[in-house]
A and B are shown apart, each in its own frame.
Chain A
Amino acid sequence: MIDAAALDELRAVAGEAAVLEHDPMGLDGARLELTIAPTSVEDLAATLGVCASRRLPLLVRGGGSRLGLGNRPRGARAWLSTAALEPVCEVDGDEGVARVGAATPAADLDAAARGAGWRSPFETSNPLSTVGGVLATAASGPRSLGLGPARRAALGLEVALASGDRTRCGSRVVKNVTGYDLVKLYVGSLGTLGVLTEAWLRLRPKPEAERAFAGRVGHEGLALAREAARRSGARAVAIVDGTLASAISEEGEGDLLIVEFAGDEPVVDEAEAWLRTRAGELAEAPDAVGRLHGLQESPSTAALRFRISAPTPHLEAAHSMLRERGAGVITHPGLSQTLAFFDLESADTTGVDAAWRAVHAAVDPTVGAHAILEQAPGWAKDGRDVFDAPAATLPLMRTLKSEFDPAGVLNPGRFVGAL
Chain B
Amino acid sequence: MSGLVDALTAIVGAEGCLSRADEVFPYECDGLSLHAATPGAVVFPRDTSDVVRIVRACAEHGRSFVPRGAGTGLSGGALACDEAVVIECSRMNRVLEVNPEARWARVQPGLVNADLSRAVATHGLFYAPDPSSQLACTIGGNVAENSGGPHTLKYGTTTDHVLGLELVLSSGEVVRLGSACGVAPGYDLVGAVVGSEGTLGVVTEVTVNLEPIPEAIATLLGIFGDVVSACRAVGEIIRSGLVPAALEIMDRRTIEAVEASVYAAGLPRDAGAVLLIELDGPPPALERQRERIRAIAMAQGASRVDVARDADERERFWAARKGAFGAMGRLGPDLYVHDAVVPRAKLPEVIARVCEIGDRYGLKLSNVFHAGDGNLHPNISFDRRNPDELDRVLAAGDEILRTCVDAGGVITGEHGVGTEKRDFMELIFSEADFGAMKRLRRAFDPEQRSNPGKIFPSTRFCTEANPKARGYDRVPLREGEP
Q: Kindly list 6 other residue pairs between chains A and B, CB separation below 8 angstroms, not including A94-B238, A177-B157, A270-B284.
A: A171-B428, A176-B410, A178-B429, A180-B196, A232-B281, A396-B169
Query: Within the assembled complex, what's the spacing in Å between the Cα atoms of A172 and B417?
Result: 18
State whether the Cβ of A293 lies closer than 8 Å to any Cβ in chain B. no
B contact residues vs A (CB 8 Å cutoff): 99, 101-102, 104, 145-146, 148, 152, 156-157, 159-160, 163-164, 169, 175-177, 179-192, 194-196, 212, 215, 235, 238-239, 241-243, 281-282, 284-285, 287-289, 341-345, 370, 373-375, 408-417, 421, 425, 428-430, 432-433, 435-437, 439-444, 455
Q: Report the 6 A-B pairs with minimum CB-CB distance, sorted nearest first.
A: A184-B191, A266-B284, A205-B241, A368-B179, A368-B180, A311-B102
Query: Within the assembled complex, what's the spacing in Å between the Cα atoms of A264 and B239?
Result: 16
State whether the Cβ of A185 lies closer than 8 Å to any Cβ in chain B. yes
Contact partner of B433 (CB less than 8 A), chosen from A168, A389, A404, A417, is: A168
Contact partner of A165 (CB less than 8 A), chosen from B284, B373, B432, B440, is: B432
Contact partner of B186 (CB less than 8 A), chosen from A167, A266, A367, A389, is: A389
Which residues of A326-379 are within 8 A (CB) of B? 336, 367-370, 372
Q: By the criterion CB–CB under 8 Å, are A370 and B433 in contact?
A: no
Q: By the criterion CB–CB under 8 Å, are B180 and A180 in contact?
A: no
Closest residue of B by beta carbon distance from A399: B443
9 chain-A/chain-B pairs, Cβ below 8 angstroms: A92-B345, A95-B345, A165-B435, A171-B408, A173-B373, A175-B152, A178-B411, A178-B417, A368-B163
Q: By the criterion CB–CB under 8 Å, are B439 and A206 in contact?
A: no
Contact partner of B145 (CB less than 8 A), chosen from A117, A177, A390, is: A177
Q: By the criterion CB–CB under 8 Å, are B191 and A400 in contact?
A: no
Contact partner of A312 (CB less than 8 A), chosen from B101, B169, B417, B421, is: B101
Query: Within the assembled complex, what's the spacing in Å between the Cα atoms of A312 and B305?
Result: 42
Min CB–CB distance B77 → chain A (angstroms)? 10
The number of inter-chain residue pairs (CB within 8 angstroms) is: 241
Closest residue of A by beta carbon distance from B192: A185
Most buried by A among B181, B241, B285, B411: B181
A residues within 8 A CB of B436? 159, 161, 165, 167, 169, 182, 194, 404
Closest residue of B by beta carbon distance from A204: B241
Q: By the criterion CB–CB under 8 Å, are B410 and A178 in contact?
A: yes
Query: Within the assembled complex, what's the spacing in Å between the Cα atoms of A368 and B207?
Result: 11
Query: Within the assembled complex, what's the spacing in Å between the Cα atoms of A390 and B421?
Result: 38
Min CB–CB distance B161 → chain A (angstroms)? 11
Q: By the criterion CB–CB under 8 Å, are A177 and B288 in contact?
A: no
Most buried by B among A188, A263, A311: A311
B residues within 8 A CB of A97? 343
Closest residue of B by beta carbon distance from A171: B410
Closest residue of A by beta carbon distance from B407: A173
A residues within 8 A CB of B425? 178-179
Closest residue of B by beta carbon distance from A402: B443
Q: By the criterion CB–CB under 8 Å, are A313 and B175 in contact?
A: no
Closest residue of B by beta carbon distance from A312: B102
Closest residue of B by beta carbon distance from A184: B191
Query: Within the assembled complex, what's the spacing in Å between the Cα atoms of A269 and B284?
Result: 10
State whether the Cβ of A254 lies closer than 8 Å to any Cβ in chain B. no
A residues within 8 A CB of B152? 175
Q: By the criterion CB–CB under 8 Å, are A387 and B186 in contact?
A: yes
**In the complex where A172-B408, A185-B187, A185-B192 touch, is A179 in contact with B428 (Cβ < 8 A)?**
yes
A residues within 8 A CB of B195? 177, 180-181
Contact partner of B181 (CB less than 8 A), chosen from A179, A310, A388, is: A310
State whether the Cβ of A290 lies closer than 8 Å to any Cβ in chain B. no
B residues within 8 A CB of A181? 146, 159, 191-192, 194-196
State whether the Cβ of A96 lies closer than 8 Å to any Cβ in chain B. yes
B residues within 8 A CB of A291? none
Contact with B along A135-164 (1 / 0, CB 8 A): 000000000000000011000000101010
Number of interface residues of A (CB under 8 A): 77
State whether the Cβ of A189 lies closer than 8 Å to any Cβ in chain B. yes
A residues within 8 A CB of B421? 178
Q: By the criterion CB–CB under 8 Å, are A184 and B159 in contact?
A: yes
Query: Within the assembled complex, what's the spacing in Å between the Cα atoms of A178 and B433?
Result: 12
Contact partner of B179 (CB less than 8 A), chosen from A206, A309, A400, A403, is: A309
B residues within 8 A CB of A403? 439-440, 442-443
B residues within 8 A CB of A264? 284-285, 288-289
Min CB–CB distance A97 → chain B (angstroms)? 8
Min CB–CB distance B398 → chain A (angstroms)? 16
Contact with B along A251-274 (1 / 0, CB 8 A): 000000000000111110110000
Q: By the criterion CB–CB under 8 Å, are A389 and B185 in contact?
A: yes
Min CB–CB distance A46 → chain B (angstroms)? 13
**In the complex where A152-B156, A400-B443 touch, is A173 in contact with B192 (Cβ < 8 A)?**
no
Q: By the criterion CB–CB under 8 Å, are B285 and A151 in contact?
A: no
Q: By the criterion CB–CB under 8 Å, are A309 and B344 in contact?
A: no
A residues within 8 A CB of B433? 167-169, 179
A residues within 8 A CB of B408? 171-173
Most buried by A among B195, B289, B342, B442: B195
Most buried by B among A184, A187, A206, A372: A184
Contact with B along A232-247 (1 / 0, CB 8 A): 1100000000000000
Min CB–CB distance A366 → chain B (angstroms)? 10
Q: By the criterion CB–CB under 8 Å, are A175 and B413 in contact?
A: yes
Q: By the criterion CB–CB under 8 Å, are A393 and B189 in contact?
A: yes
Q: By the criterion CB–CB under 8 Å, are B285 and A176 in contact?
A: no
B residues within 8 A CB of A171? 408-410, 428
Q: By the criterion CB–CB under 8 Å, are A175 and B186 in contact?
A: no
